[in-house]
Amino acid sequence: MIKGKGISKGIGFGKVFIFEKRKRKIKKVIVENSENELEKFKTALNKVEKEIEETIQQSSGTEKEIMNAYLMILKDPTLVIETENLIKNLKYNAEYAIEERFNKIIEMFKKINDEYMAERAKDIIDIKEKLLDKILKDENIKLNKLPQNIIIVAKELTTSETAKLDFKNVSGIITEIGGVNSHTAIMARTHSIPLITEIHNINEIFNNEQYICMNGSTGEIFINPTKEEENNLLEQQKLIEEEKNKLEEYKNKETKTKDGFKVELVSNIGIPSDVEKVIESTAEGIGLFRTEFLYMDNEKMPTEEEQFLSYKEVAEKMQGKPVIIRTLDVGGDKEIKYLNLPKEENPFLGFRAIRICLANIEMFKIQLRAILKASAYGNISIMIPMISSIEELRKTKQIVEECKKELQEKNIKFKKDIKLGIMIEIPSTAIMAEQFAKECDFFSIGTNDLIQYTVAVERGNEKISNLYSKYNPAVIRLIKMAIDGAHKEGIFCGMCGEVAGDSKFIPILIGMGLDEFSMNSNKILQARKVITNLEKKQCEKLVENIIKLDSSNKIKEELENFKK
């Protein structure tokens, strides 16, 4: 057995299919007639553009989005003009000019020590290879016509190679290089295909004669497995399937407790194509659209039109169900290079989220107008992250009003009574919940941040992670304060931090009367099962007991003893 890093769950069985890329050497030639070379370059550009456009027509969701991003790279005037300049001014042959210009940008991206930028560099490599394929009339092996039941083994699989895959024939993917946040991993997860990476010397380990089975959760790979090893994995696959099938009965059901307390069970999303999973899970809406991914998935600020189209697409696909769009939440651990944010000693206590937006009102207005315009196409609300003082809320509301006025003057439609809510993720706001509730339409508790700011433990710091506890009595009291404050003023209170989808914690939230639970789509059915089997009255008693306790351990113990 060999072990790598599982980055897409699931069990896979199949024959090895080694995917090897050709190696080519691009020679530099100084040409006499640069017109010919320019023509070659333009023809290659057109062909690749047409191919991508065709792929866009035939694809949906993530693939479609990625291909749209490819099209943007391909149409980037600086990239095209500067390649043409190398041909015109230095008389380079077309393929060498492409290699030169594209490699410069690729190197630039790679130098930025950032996982996300490294992935974008791969996208540009991919486009460069496509262009060279056209000029050198070199085509890749047909990834869209693969034999059945294979496990693809490759040093690396690029985004567009993955997008081309004939997924119904692929039982698994194994690579040497690959990141959790790579588009390849995202697509594998979307298609429920196990993916294991970080297998070193991959070409020496595997060959096309092998049969393998793999476990994408544990990262285990068995080459030519024994009967026992194979049966073991088959058994695990059966269990996973059974668990999943059992949850199917909770699809399309109302989410309410045994004694009739109804809540809204909704999803968190990061990009518009995540909506497919939301619909499949039968979530009742979207409680958090983390819009920063639209900004992070770009080399420059997404325009008002681009943002509008993304928000509109989500709203329309959700067909009138609630969609809460959170305004830009960057800073802290989420970096956007082109915003040139200053390096800070304590980024989590620094220039983040609404603080950035209120310091860049024109940038903020672009997003707000895009959300407002999209609100004409569905049931959209606006949510503001990291609110710590009432002045920030008031200032934000004033800017929203200005945006509404601007749209009105141009006769652009939007939902006039669009709801505006805030995230409760800073203790100062939870403590003052009642006052905030008088001036906004809803709350959503962001426990990921609320915990870190309450116990002063950075959310990603492994060394002190034992202190980062949702069971800390102060955290529980702050959650209660937020819910009570909202209800006192008659507004609804949701939660979109990870705690909302935690089966063990849900009874406390039901007992406190939380109105809305927002989580990853793949947790929806399990959460619906938990809620359906609870009784609100019993949960209220649980809260009464828990609120008197003075330590995380005691609270945990009380929860473990809680009888449903």
> Taking CB within 5 to 8 Å according to partner kind, which of Mg ion, ligand PEP, none is near residue 40?
none
Beta carbon of residue 220, minimum distance to ligand PEP (angstroms, whole number):
31
| Cβ 449 to Mg ion shortest distance, Å | 4
In whole angstroms, the minimum distance from the beta carbon of 158 to ligand PEP comes to 28
Q: Give the one entry of ligand PEP, Mg ion, none that residue 497 binds, where binding means its C-beta sits below a cut-off of 5 to 8 angstroms depending on kind.
A: ligand PEP
Residues 6+ apart with CB under 8 A from 194: 6, 8, 9, 10, 11, 12, 171, 172, 173, 188, 214, 215, 216
Query: 44 or 314, CB closer to ligand PEP?
Result: 314
For ligand PEP, give the closer residue by CB, 421 or 446.
Answer: 446
Give the 3-state secondary structure of residue 71. Answer: helix
- Asked if 497 interacts with ligand PEP (CB under 6 A), we say yes
CB closer to Mg ion, 448 vs 532 = 448
Site for ligand PEP in 71-130 (CB under 6 A): none
Which of these ranges, 245-253, 387-395, 442-450, 534-542, lies near ligand PEP under the rule CB under 6 A?
A: 442-450
Q: Both tokens of residue 41?
A: 């370059």
**Set 183, 357, 487, 493: catalytic member:** 183
Instruction: Lay out the sheet containing 195-197: strands in order across.
Output: 2-3, 220-223, 211-215, 11-18, 150-154, 170-175, 195-197, 5-8
Binding residue (CB under 5 A) for Mg ion from 37, 449, 458, 502: 449
496's contact among ligand PEP, Mg ion, none, with CB below 5 to 8 A by partner kind, is: ligand PEP
What is each CA distance from 529 to 243, 251, 499, 534, 539, in whole angstroms? 12, 10, 16, 9, 15
CB of 375 to ligand PEP, least distance (A): 22
Q: Does 458 interact with ligand PEP (rule: CB under 6 A)?
A: no
Neighbours of 409 (CB within 10 A): 8
Reduce the DSSP state of residue 515 to 3 states and report it: coil
Q: Does 433 bind ligand PEP (CB under 6 A)?
A: no
Q: Does 496 bind ligand PEP (CB under 6 A)?
A: yes
The least distance separating Mg ion from the CB of residue 78, rounded to whole angstroms, comes to: 35
| Distance between CA atoms of residues 500 and 481, nearest Å | 16
* Shortest Å, Cβ 288 to ligand PEP: 6
Piece of the chain touching Mg ion by CB under 5 A; list 53-61, 73-81, 207-215, 439-447: 439-447
Among 149, 448, 522, 545, binds ligand PEP (CB under 6 A): 448
In the bound state with ligand PEP, the residue whose beta carbon lies nearer, of 181 and 448, is 448
- Which of Mg ion, ligand PEP, none sits in contact with 519, Cβ below 5 to 8 A by type? none
DSSP for residue 267: E
Q: What CA–CA distance (Å, rounded) separates 91 from 181?
A: 40
Cβ-based nearer residue to ligand PEP, 212 or 383 = 383
Return the structure tokens found at 61.
Answer: 């969701």
The residue among 55 and 452 lying less far from Mg ion, judged by its C-beta, is 452
Residues binding ligand PEP: number (CB under 6 A): 10
Q: Is-catalytic flag, 183?
A: yes
Residue among 319, 296, 320 at smallest CA distance from 183: 296
Site for ligand PEP in 189-248 (CB under 6 A): none
Residue 231: C-alpha distances to residues 194, 226, 235, 238, 464 (Å)? 18, 9, 6, 10, 40
447 forms part of the interface with ligand PEP (CB under 6 A): yes
Closest CA to 395 of 422, 424, 427, 426: 422
Q: With CB cut-offs between 5 and 8 Å by kind, which of ligand PEP, Mg ion, none does residue 277 bind?
A: none
Q: Which residues contact 410 (CB under 8 A, 6 or more apart)?
A: none
The residue among 233 and 486 lying less far from ligand PEP, judged by its C-beta, is: 486
Supply 435's token pair: 């006052």
Considering only the stretches 24-32, 372-380, 389-397, 447-455, report the one whose residues sit in contact with ligand PEP under the rule CB under 6 A: 447-455
- 175 or 291: whose CB is closer to ligand PEP? 291
Measured in degrees and rounded to the nearest 5, phi and psi for residue 305 equal -65, -45
Structure tokens at 322: 């609630």
For residue 37, the partner it binds in ligand PEP, Mg ion, none, with Cβ less than 5 to 8 A by kind, is: none
The dihedrals phi and psi of 222, each to the nearest 5 degrees, come to -115, 115
Q: What is the dihedral of CA 106, 112, 117, 123, to 10 degrees?
A: 10
Establish whether 191 is a catalytic residue: no
Q: Which of 290, 365, 480, 528 binds ligand PEP (CB under 6 A)?
A: 290
The catalytic position among 213, 403, 496, 539 is: 496
Shortest spacing between CB 421 and ligand PEP, in angstroms: 13
446 binds Mg ion (CB under 5 A): yes
The answer to the question of residue 516 lying near ligand PEP (CB under 6 A) is no
Cα–Cα dist 225/222, whole Å = 5
**Which of these ranges, 14-22, 274-282, 420-428, 463-471, lies near Mg ion under the rule CB under 5 A?**
420-428
Task: Find tokens 């990921």 and name the residue.
Answer: 448
CA distances, 84 to each of 34, 45, 91, 108, 297 (Å): 10, 11, 10, 20, 27
- Say whether 543 sits in a helix, a strand or coil: helix
Closest C-alpha to 234, from 46, 524, 12, 437: 12
Quote the CA–CA distance of 518 and 269 in Å, as a whole number.
10
Site map (CB under 6 A) of ligand PEP, residues 319-348, x = contact: ----------x-------------------
Q: Which residue is nearest to Mg ion (CB)?
A: 449
CB of 523 to Mg ion, least distance (A): 18
Nearer to ligand PEP, 290 or 487 (CB): 290
Contacts of 550 (CB under 8 A, 6+ apart): 473
Residues that bind ligand PEP (CB under 6 A): 288, 290, 329, 425, 446-449, 496-497
**Residues belonging to the active site:** 183, 496
